[in-house]
Structure 1
């Protein structure tokens, strides 16, 4: 049991490190939107494909929260995953600082563009984009009707779409670890509410929508198609 948790924690740390390193390095060095969002999506896609069979391939505390609510992981496991993800994120940002300098990490720390949007709007946008991402995870990973072979591509595509739509407004984190790692190095904590609260709220919204609406409708359809058999009559209790 301990060995499996250690293996899962290492997989989550390595996956999150890769996501943060690639994304922060691309934005901090290239400084262009298109390469950044593509790098973000492709590294998520690759790491989910490579390590998803080990730990589930969360690499995102918001996804772990959603899986906790869906009872696919227990509280202890979620805590281990969160610790591994944050440690991996911090190490990924440190590696970028070693390679490209602290300024590159500071540039890549998610920040609200206050000329275009306020903090409340930024949190809402991060929540909505993360909700879409988590719905993709639920629909491709948890839904038995979906072929598992597509889920890395679907999740990577959702990351590209969400990040592209928000990069100029909020930094397009969609992942608390994506903000935490560079913030540790740069010391830029002003917009922590955006990249922390937004994705976590989005995860809760996605779980509620999937559990109470989408999955419930699927259960109702199955009940109509395959009704429970009527139990055979038992012995009479009357004399």
Structure 2
């Protein structure tokens, strides 16, 4: 429930800023919206589920052996459902605002003619890998178990805002398959045909981040932490 609710709110507020308020807050405002809502959610849900709200982060945790596969699968299902529900809620609000574009864009990610800088497929793939790498690497570095506490949410929120500052002109910034799936379902058309990239590339970036973190932080997770991680979803049930 925590992962579903968190992803719902991340999509509604983050993507919502891109859908209904771009003329008022610009790219910087959209980036801050994503970062600030993650910051708030991490402090609210970080001790419940770790507040991954992102299948890429969950995959990074799985590769880093912070959680087991059973927990990861449940998180992935909850996150995708939350992303779709968040997009549905945003759709219901956005359709009541005159002039808001729903079909075609609706805060979805894209490359080629759907990119502000016309980035090609390869460039978009590499960009999403690198952007996700930073987010997941920071996430793994500021957490020791599943839970996120202390100043960890601040680092995660700033990292998400940073990757959006760079990524918005490139692809609209995914770094989160659940965030991409929800809006694409309502945008339709090329948003759906390009969706594969925003599922695969963030997951690749997450795996690379987890492997790199294992090299740079070889003793971050103790044996007790790893044992506890297998039960990381108990508080979320």
The residue that corresponds to 1:17 in the other structure is 8
Q: Of 39, 47, 59, which aligns to 1:53?
A: 47
- Structure 2 gaps, min length 5: 221-237
The residue that corresponds to 2:18 in the other structure is 27
Question: Is contact 2:8-2:82 (8 Å) kept?
Answer: yes
The residue that corresponds to 1:237 in the other structure is none
Q: 1:72, CA displacement in angstroms? A: 1.4
Larger relative helix fraction: 1
Of 28-37 and 11-20, more deviation after overlay is shown by 28-37
Q: Of 63, 81, 92, which aligns to 1:69?
A: 63
How is 1:126-205 mapped onto 2 (pairs within 5 angstroms)?
126-142=128-144, 148-187=149-188, 188-205=191-208
Deviations 1:6-59 (A, max 9, x none): xxxx00000000000001211101123122111000001110110010001100
Task: Give the distance between the partners of 1:52 and 1:165, measured in 2 at CA.
Answer: 26
The residue that corresponds to 2:231 in the other structure is none
Deviations 1:53-81 (A, max 9, x none): 00011000000001111111111111110
Runs of 4+ that moved beyond 4 A:
none
Deviations 1:104-142 (A, max 9, x none): 473311111445311111011111011011111111112
Question: Is contact 1:90-1:185 (8 Å) kept?
Answer: no
Q: 1:190, CA displacement in angstroms? A: 2.4
Question: Is contact 2:106-2:186 (8 Å) kept?
Answer: no
- Structure 1 gaps, min length 5: 1-9, 220-239
Task: Give the distance between the partners of 1:190 and 1:61, measured in 2 at CA.
Answer: 20
Question: Is contact 2:39-2:157 (8 Å) kept?
Answer: yes
Question: Is contact 1:29-1:104 (8 Å) kept?
Answer: no
- RMSD of equivalent CA atoms: 1.8
Q: Given the two structures, how large is their TM-score scaled by the length of structure 1?
A: 0.81
Q: Of 88, 92, 100, which aligns to 2:94?
A: 100
Task: Give the distance between the partners of 1:30 and 1:157, measured in 2 at CA.
Answer: 21
Q: 1:71 aligns to what SS in structure 2?
A: coil
Q: Which has the higher contact order (CA 8 A, sep 6+)?
A: 2
Q: 1:185, CA displacement in angstroms? A: 1.8
Q: Given the two structures, how large is their TM-score scaled by the length of structure 2?
A: 0.82
Larger radius of gyration: 1
